[in-house]
């Protein structure tokens, strides 16, 4: 199986670079990763000097050769490229070698181009720019003939080499002189001396660029000489010499016998060679300065980017599209790390052969692309982590320890969550999967801050609601009683209670000097606002309690109660027994006055020194609706007739309501008076007059008998004096009470005696046998108690 391919024309007669060369390369390397393990050599020499014949014999290439039997004319036009992986060695054997690309350059003195030396110079420049070894092919008889075209060619080679590598110390080219048709009369050493002398002469005559004046030929070139016998006359010698020559190509590169040295190599991976060669030719052809380092960097840049792109495409194809949840951190890390190392590994294995600086620069670009991809995935993962942490933060916060205030607990929990997230981030950063997670960090802290604010607001709201409820309960307990039993200083007491309830409910937030701290980290000003909000709610509760309990009907019944307490009971809280109308009228006036004493107090909330009570903060009547008002902060309300009224804390009764209350009260008071007056008529009219007449007629004899009897007269006198004394000393009431009590006791005693007499001494007690009797007694007792209670309920009123 042959290891060489048909040659292709790399640069044609019209000086055009063949774009098909890339396909030719692909064909030659058939998918193998050649890297830097390849070589490029060029062959120069006069036209028809047997160059193609030599290459074909040595490397098995298939360059066209001239058929001398027909016509001596130029065969190779432009620059041809051949490929081989074998070389002819001793005894016509073949040795395998690294991929070798051979440039067969158009003969230098061809009649076809005439005096056009331009192509020759360009071809030399191109060959030196891409080759490691320049084979100079010449007939033995050409040696020593300075005017020969080979020497002119070598001058050109020297010049262009200086222009390319004059300022570099790291590159050399091997000039391999192959002397053809060496019949052996002049020994090779002699020929070599002659050639070297000639080369030195040429070198010394060169116009060297600045900085290269003192540099010698050997700074830039290594020289090797070999000779081949006459191909036609000495075929065996030719074959032997050819094998010897070939063995230098088959030796291990950099070994002593090998022609290949690393300093000759252009250190450009084969996959970039085509582009490099094309660029170089383009520069040469357009007569621009051929700057090899720049060209190499350009190629390296292009190729590394191409490799990076391929690696990235591969990376994206196998990139996971799933979302990694908060508890899938390890899976995320393992997946991403494996993808990254796979992608960079792909890149490194192909791109690391190019210029290191370029390789690293492109690698860093590739890393950035990988990280940009990771950033999105990690950001999504971190969003899930963030949500989980914040949910946990809120959960922790609800389990509030009793030893800490809310703000202390909040701050501690917040810092635990922050630390946890920071540790999470720094671990990811350490893994070098993303350069920075600053955005994610700040997003987390913003969310955490929002969650803190929300929780603080929630806690504050709860505090406000709870305090509001406590205050409302406290107010109801104290204020309702005060309103139901009003006194002249009612509002002083109500306000006292109001302040007391508020301060008691907010005692744990009280920090002295009238300031409050609601333990949510609010500023003094905001704490003050919250306090005012609570106060506003307290005012609203008070407003509602006052206005609900001081309705028209309630006020009327309060007045009536006050009136009746005064009207029906005397100073000793005993029920009054009316003797005459005069007494009723007097009691009515007094009781009415007593009732009306509190009407003003119940109509308008004002302190005892007549200052109307105005809430010190605006009152909101509807939560969520900002209806703060000017003035005393009252809202509007709609009455049953659809008329809007201004809500005012102090104004309880309007003038018309007050008038209504008075009228209603008067009606009820009048009923009480009428009842009282009826009770007098009943006592005075229940004995008809004819009874008195009948008494006088029927009892006349008895009357005279008494008058005539001194004992009765004395008795009458005693009784009369007693009545007089009792009347004078106004002792009727105690006497009546005593009498009643005595009668009652006697009646009870008699009943008891009768019962025991009827039932017999051995029977059960009356209370057991006659529940109805007990019930009656209890009822009487209850009535008595109730009677006694009435004045006492009056006395329970605040004095
Ligand atoms: N005497 C002699 N003739 C040779 C030798 N090698 C080749 N030739 C003949 O020289 C002629 C030119 O050979 P080519 O190999 O075509 O020469 P070339 O240098 O490639 O020609 P161009 O490509 O046109 O420059 C052919 O007729 C060969 O047979 C040799 O070693 N000695």
Query: Would you say 73 and 13 are in contact if contact means Cβ atoms under 8 Å apart?
Result: no
CA 47 to ligand 1 center in whole angstroms: 8
Ligand 1 pocket, 711 CB below 6 A?
no
As a whole number of Å, the CA-based R_g of the chain is 65
> Could you give the 3-state DSSP secondary structure of residue 565?
helix
**Residue keyed to tokens 């004059």:** 166
> Could you give the 3-state DSSP secondary structure of residue 11?
strand
Contacts 24+ apart (CB under 8 A), 295-298: 295/129, 296/266, 296/267, 296/268, 296/355, 297/355, 297/357, 297/358
Residue spans per domain, the chain: 5-289, 291-436, 487-680, 693-795
Tokens representing 32 are 């193998």
CA 8 to ligand 1 center in whole angstroms: 19
Atom 8 in ligand 1: residue holding the nearest Cα: 50
> Could you give the 3-state DSSP secondary structure of residue 225?
strand
> Could you give the 3-state DSSP secondary structure of residue 39?
strand
Ligand 1 pocket, 159 CB below 6 A?
no
d(CA 544, CA 309): 77
Beta strand 93-105 with 38-45 is parallel
Low-confidence stretches of the chain (pLDDT beneath 70): 1-5, 66-76, 107-117, 145-150, 400-402, 622-647, 681-687, 759-799
Atom 10 in ligand 1: residue holding the nearest Cα: 50
Of 361, 367, 330, residue with least CA distance to 346:
367
Of 104, 86, 85, residue with least CA distance to 9:
104
Q: Which fold has domain 5-289?
A: Rossmann fold (3.40.50)
Ligand 1 pocket, 52 CB below 6 A?
yes
Q: How many CB atoms lie within 10 A of CB 747?
A: 10
**Rounded to an integer, what is the distance from CA 105 to the centroid of its chain?**
69
One DSSP character per residue, 676-738 reads HHHHHHHHHHSS-HHHHHHHHHHTHHHHHHHHH-HHHHHHHHHHHHHHHHHHHTT-HHHHHHH
d(CA 118, CA 126): 12
Ligand 1 pocket, 181 CB below 6 A?
yes
Nearest atom in ligand 1 to the alpha carbon of residue 45 is: 19
pLDDT of residue 631: 39
One DSSP character per residue, 596-618 reads HTTHHHHHB-B-TTSPBP--SS-
d(CA 752, CA 469): 58
> Could you give the 3-state DSSP secondary structure of residue 231?
coil
d(CA 136, CA 174): 10
Ligand 1 pocket, 78 CB below 6 A?
no
Ligand 1 pocket, 149 CB below 6 A?
no
pLDDT of residue 179: 93
Go through the chain and tell me how many residues it has.
799
**Residue keyed to tokens 């009224």:** 645
E-only strand ranges, 119-275:
133-139, 173-180, 221-227
Please list the alpha-helical segments (H only) found in 729-799: 732-759, 766-769, 771-795
Question: Is 728 labelled a binding residue?
Answer: no
Please list the alpha-helical segments (H only) found in 355-405: 356-398
Tokens representing 54 are 């030599």
Q: How do residues 382-440 score in pLDDT, each as one tens digit?
A: 999 999 999 999 888 887 666 778 888 889 999 999 999 998 888 888 888 888 888 88
Mutate which of 44, 46, 48 for ligand 1 pocket (most atoms within 8 A of beta carbon): 48
**Rounded to an integer, what is the distance from CA 578 to the centroid of its chain?**
86
ipTM of the complex: 0.97
């Amino acid at each position: 199986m042959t290891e060489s391919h048909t040659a292709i024309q790399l640069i044609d007669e019209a000086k055009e670079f063949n774009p098909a060369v890339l396909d030719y390369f692909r064909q030659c390397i058939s998918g193998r990763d050649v890297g830097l393990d390849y070589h490029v050599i060029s062959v120069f020499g006069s036209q028809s000097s047997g160059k193609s014949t030599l290459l074909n014999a040595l490397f098995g290439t298939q360059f066209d050769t001239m058929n001398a039997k027909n016509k001596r004319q130029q065969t190779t036009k432009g620059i041809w490229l051949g490929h081989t992986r074998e070389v002819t060695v001793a005894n016509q054997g073949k040795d395998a070698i690294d991929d070798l690309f051979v440039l067969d350059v158009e003969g230098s003195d061809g009649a076809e181009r005439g005096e056009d030396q331009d192509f020759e110079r360009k071809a030399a420049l191109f060959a030196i720019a891409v080759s490691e070894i320049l084979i100079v092919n010449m007939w033995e008889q050409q040696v020593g003939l300075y005017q020969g075209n080979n020497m002119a060619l070598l001058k050109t080679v020297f010049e262009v080499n200086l222009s390319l590598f004059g300022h570099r110390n790291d590159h050399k080219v091997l000039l391999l002189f192959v002397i053809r048709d060496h019949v052996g009369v002049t020994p090779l050493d002699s020929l070599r001396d002659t050639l070297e002398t000639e080369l030195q002469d040429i070198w010394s005559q060169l116009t060297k660029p600045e900085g290269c004046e003192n540099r010698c030929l050997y700074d830039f070139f290594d020289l090797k000489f070999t000779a081949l016998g006459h191909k036609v006359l000495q075929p065996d010698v030719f074959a032997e010499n050819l094998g010897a020559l070939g063995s230098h190509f088959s030796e291990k590169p950099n070994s002593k016998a090998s022609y290949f040295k690393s300093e000759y190599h252009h250190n450009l991976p084969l996959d970039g060679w085509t582009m490099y060669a094309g660029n170089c030719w383009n520069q040469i052809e357009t007569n621009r300065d051929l700057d090899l380092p720049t060209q190499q960097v350009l190629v390296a840049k292009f190729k590394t980017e191409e490799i990076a792109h391929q690696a990235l495409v591969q990376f994206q194809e196998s990139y996971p599209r799933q979302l990694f949840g908060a508890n899938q951190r390890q899976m995320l890390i393992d997946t991403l790390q494996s993808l990254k190392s796979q992608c960079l590994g792909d890149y490194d294995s192909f791109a690391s052969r190019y210029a290191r600086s370029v390789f690293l620069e492109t690698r860093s670009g590739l890393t950035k692309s990988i990280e940009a991809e990771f950033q999105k995935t990690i950001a999504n993962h971190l969003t899930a982590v963030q949500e989980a942490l914040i949910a946990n933060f809120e959960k922790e916060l609800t389990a509030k320890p009793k030893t800490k205030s809310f703000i202390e607990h909040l701050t501690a929990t917040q810092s635990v969550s922050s630390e946890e997230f920071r540790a999470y981030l720094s671990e990811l950063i350490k893994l070098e999967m993303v350069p920075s997670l600053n955005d994610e960090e700040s997003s987390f802290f913003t969310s955490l801050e929002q969650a803190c604010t929300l929780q603080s607001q929630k806690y504050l709201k709860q505090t406000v609601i709870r305090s509001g409820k406590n205050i409302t309960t406290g107010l109801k307990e104290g204020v309702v009683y005060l309103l139901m039993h009003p006194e002249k200083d009612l509002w002083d007491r109500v306000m006292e209670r109001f302040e007391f309830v508020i301060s008691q409910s907010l005692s744990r937030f009280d920090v002295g000097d009238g300031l409050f701290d609601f333990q949510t980290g609010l500023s003094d000003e905001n704490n003050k606002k919250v306090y005012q909000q609570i106060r506003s709610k307290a005012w609203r509760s008070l407003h509602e309690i006052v206005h609900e309990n001081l309705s028209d009907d309630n006020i009327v019944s309060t007045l009536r109660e006050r009136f009746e307490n005064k009207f029906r009971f005397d100073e000793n809280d005993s029920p009054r027994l009316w003797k005459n109308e005069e007494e009723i009228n007097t009691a009515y006036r007094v009781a009415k006055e007593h009732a009306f004493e509190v009407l003003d107090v119940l109509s308008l909330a004002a302190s005892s020194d007549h200052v109307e009570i105005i809430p010190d903060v605006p009152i909101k009547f509807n939560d969520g609706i900002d209806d703060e008002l000017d003035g005393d902060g009252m809202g509007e309300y709609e009455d049953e007739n659809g008329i809007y009224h201004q809500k005012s804390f102090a104004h309880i009764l309007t003038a018309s309501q007050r008038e209504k209350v008075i009228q209603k009260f008067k009606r009820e008071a009048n009923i009480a008076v009428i009842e009282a007056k009826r009770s007098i008529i009943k006592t005075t009219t229940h004995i008809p007059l004819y009874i008195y007449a009948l008494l006088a007629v029927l009892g006349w004899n008895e009357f005279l008998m008494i008058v005539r009897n001194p004992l009765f007269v004395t008795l009458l006198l005693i009784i009369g004096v007693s009545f007089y004394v009792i009347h004078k000393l106004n002792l009727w009431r105690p006497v009546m009470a005593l009498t009643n009590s005595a009668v009652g006791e006697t009646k009870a005693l008699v009943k008891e005696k009768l019962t025991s007499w009827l039932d017999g001494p051995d029977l059960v007690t009356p209370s057991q046998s006659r529940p109805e009797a007990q019930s009656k007694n209890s009822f009487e007792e209850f009535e008595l108690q109730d009677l006694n209670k009435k004045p006492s309920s009056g006395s329970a009123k605040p004095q």
